[in-house]
Amino acid sequence: MKPLRIDHIGIAVKSIDESLKVYEALGLESTGIEEVAEQKVRVCFLPCGDSEIELLESTDPEGPVAKFIEKRGEGVQHIAIRVPNIEDAIAQMKDKGFRMIDESPRYGAGGARIAFMHPKSTGGVLIELSQRD
Ligand code: ZN
């Protein structure tokens, strides 16, 4: 597996509207807001060169992003690595003994196919593998 780039950095925020002020001040522009019901989040992508910032706002106090903010406060929540083939990437990481949260790809914002690795097996970093065609 040869990763292609950092696809995006996911940032847990209480309010996308509030946080946008920071990134817009930096000169980044939102490409719109999308709701991912399965993850109980609204997400906003801001392209930055070859990569993007992803702002994640929970739509439900029981959702994973709400839980994250409760435990650790707002801030960087995950790093997404773009891979050429998501099935391949999952299989290889499992072969190497890493624990996956997602054993098969699921739908991510922007039509990506994604799978999360378990932070307990990656030194505390939530890593998202992401394939976009
Ligand atoms: Zn993400």
pLDDT in tens, 39-61: 899 999 999 999 999 999 999 99
Least confident segment among 22-31, 34-43, 75-84: 34-43
pTM: 0.92
Q: Which domain holds residue 107?
A: 5-131
CA of 80 from ligand 1 middle (Å) equals 6
* CATH code of 21's domain: 3.10.180.10
**Residue type present at position 130:** S
CA of 48 from ligand 1 middle (Å) equals 15
CA of 116 from ligand 1 middle (Å) equals 9
CA of 109 from ligand 1 middle (Å) equals 8
Query: Into how many domains does the chain fold?
Result: 1
CA of 60 from ligand 1 middle (Å) equals 18
CA of 97 from ligand 1 middle (Å) equals 23
